[in-house]
Amino acid sequence: MSSEIASSGRWAQVQRVSVERLHIRLESLLVLVALSAVMAVLSPYFLSFSNFLNILLATSTIGILAIAATFVISSGGLDLSLGSVMGLSGVVGAFVAVNLGAPSAFGVIACILAGAAAGHINGQLITRAFVPAFIVTLGMLGLARGLALVISGGRVIYGLPDFMLYLGQGRPFGIPMPVIIFVVTAFAAHCVLAYTRFGRHTLAIGDSEAAARAAGIRVERHRRVLYTLSGALAGLAGLLFSARINSGDPTAGLNYELTAITAAIIGGTNLFGGRGSILGTMIGALIMGVLQNGLNLLAVQSYYQQMAIGAVLILAVFIDQYQTRKESRV
């Protein structure tokens, strides 16, 4: 089919096909390029290798949360607890490694297990108790944050062991470890969502739960796995974040779900499920990263940045809805 189009010589269509094959929306790529160009003009510091690594480093935490958001949202679900679970995980990991004095590896495992456990509870409540995902994960947003404050006594748990520090601050080949872990995670997640049965079933459930059920997919079990995965990824984000700042901070990840969900939606994830790609989400996450980095370089107050992110989320959903309605009219 692609050869037909290529022989017809319509360059725009060729491009569209190749971009679609990569599961990316061309528009979001253009926005990223345009935004970077604007920032480059406005700030002389923007276009430098070290700033590029800065953007990636700042994006790594949000990016991993955005991967989690993509899986859950494209299955027709929602996880509002991402930021809080990330905060809880960092505190649990620090508590295990510092207060309990356990070996580093246990700290690492504790981070991810704490996140997975919170996500698993979300999944159980949603699929067995039939409480809507919106309510369950909103409740978990409060629960996880509160628990993080209880465990840490409201204080930062400072001074992580060396191995955990390395995961946040090490720089093999000059590249920050969080960036490496982020890129590897994103690649693996992309392959899972785009090329495995698990990924296809995720999209199918988000597209039509009845169709998925009729096809013999165990919908509830699949959803439980997705929420657990989402929590585990939030745990990984919590690990990288606390390792970077060398402490378990109970307020880490505050409002991060806002940015993560925005990144996923900008990347072309359908808010109501059925469509989503990790590559697209990565572009969305980079857009958020560039936006924040640029506004930082321009010394814009963080209050305004928060407003900008909220506005971008609404704008992205508006554009998506507008396009969907336009297509369905044809």
Partner 1 sequence: MSLLELKGIRKSFGAVDVLHGVDLAVNAGEVVGLVGDNGAGKSTLMKTITGIYRADEGSILFDGQDILHLDPGERRQLGIEMIYQDLSLARQQDVSSNIFLGREPIKRLFGLFPVVDKAAMDRQAAEMIERLNAHLPSINRSVGSFSGGQQQTVAIARALTFDPKLVIMDEPTAALAVREVQSVLDLIRRLKSEGIAVILISHRLNDVLAVTDRIVVLRHGRAEADLATEKTNMNEVVSRIVGGGDMAVAASHEARG
First to last CA, the chain: 23
Residue 211 touching partner 1 (CB under 8 A): yes
Taking the C-alpha atoms of residue 231 and residue 229, their distance in angstroms, rounded to an integer, is 5
Could you tell me the two tokens for 298?
């321009």
Residue 191 touching partner 1 (CB under 8 A): yes
User: Among 197, 304, 311, 314, which residue interacts with partner 1 (rule: CB under 8 A)?
Assistant: 197
Count of residues interacting with partner 1 (CB under 8 A): 23
Residue 195 touching partner 1 (CB under 8 A): yes
Map the footprint of partner 1 across residues 275-294, applying CB under 8 A: 275
Alpha-carbon separation of residue 30 from 25, 157, 169 (angstroms): 9, 42, 32
Residue 207 touching partner 1 (CB under 8 A): yes
- C-beta closer to partner 1: residue 129 or 210: 210
Could you tell me the two tokens for 87?
């905060």
Residue 317 touching partner 1 (CB under 8 A): no
Minimum distance, C-beta of residue 216 to partner 1, in the bound complex (Å) = 2
User: Among 51, 208, 246, 305, which residue interacts with partner 1 (rule: CB under 8 A)?
Assistant: 208
212 with 201: CB under 8 angstroms?
A: yes
Which stretch in 8-16, 210-218, 288-296, 299-307 sits in contact with partner 1 by CB under 8 A?
210-218
Minimum distance, C-beta of residue 28 to partner 1, in the bound complex (Å) = 18
User: Among 204, 240, 261, 265, which residue interacts with partner 1 (rule: CB under 8 A)?
Assistant: 204
Alpha-carbon separation of residue 53 from 47, 98, 239, 242 (angstroms): 11, 29, 19, 19
68 with 263: CB under 8 angstroms?
A: no
Q: Left (φ > 0), alpha (ψ -120 to 50) or beta: where does 168 sit? A: alpha
Residues that bind partner 1 (CB under 8 A): 1, 191, 195-197, 200-201, 203-204, 207-208, 210-218, 270, 274-275
